[in-house]
């Protein structure tokens, strides 16, 4: 997908819409590029939608996440300190796919849960605690540390 930017950069008040499919991210992005008083901004959202396993219980669920997109586009950067906040456009016909991919990857939550109250898997037997309580006797949380060491009475 290419966006023609020459008229946007040269015409204050000009707005161009964009929409893009990002198949590698299972996402759709849409928004506008507008010239607001000589400052060209790209704003919109990307919506990720796919079936993935929960990070706690490993059950598949339909994951949906909306990620905001906001960039200031420039044709040249005068001060090197500002380059982290600005997106340099080298050609009037611009493909934002790489930038949108980066927004999606950085905007995803670090943990994807099937629900906020997901109980996860039992650390002892591995059963899904959302389906019911397990019948195993849970070890003390620190008992695994003592498995490799003899009891104190054997040390004497």
Q: pLDDT tens digits, residue range 133-148?
A: 888 766 565 666 666 7
Burial zone of 33 (CB within 10 Å; 0-12 exposed, 13-18 middle, 19+ buried): buried
> What is the Cα gyration radius of the chain?
25
pTM score, whole prediction: 0.74
pLDDT digits (tens, 9 = 90+) for 68-106: 999 999 888 776 665 667 888 888 898 999 999 999 999
Torsion of CA 26, 44, 80, 3, to 10 degrees: 80
């Amino acid at each position: 997908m290419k966006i023609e930017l020459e008229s946007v950069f040269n015409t204050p008040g000009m707005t161009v819409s964009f929409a893009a499919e990002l198949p590698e991210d299972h996402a759709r992005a849409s928004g506008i590029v507008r010239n607001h008083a000589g400052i060209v901004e790209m704003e919109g959202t990307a919506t990720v939608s796919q079936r993935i396993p929960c990070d706690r219980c490993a059950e598949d669920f339909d994951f949906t996440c909306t990620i905001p997109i906001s960039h200031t586009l420039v044709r040249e950067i005068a001060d090197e300190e500002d380059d982290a906040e600005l997106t340099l456009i080298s050609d009037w016909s611009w493909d934002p796919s790489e930038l949108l991919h980066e927004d999606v990857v950085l905007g995803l939550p670090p943990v994807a849960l099937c629900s906020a109250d997901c109980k996860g898997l039992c650390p002892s037997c591995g059963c899904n605690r959302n389906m019911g309580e397990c019948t195993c006797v849970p070890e003390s949380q620190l008992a695994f540390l003592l498995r490799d060491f003899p009891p104190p009475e054997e040390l004497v």
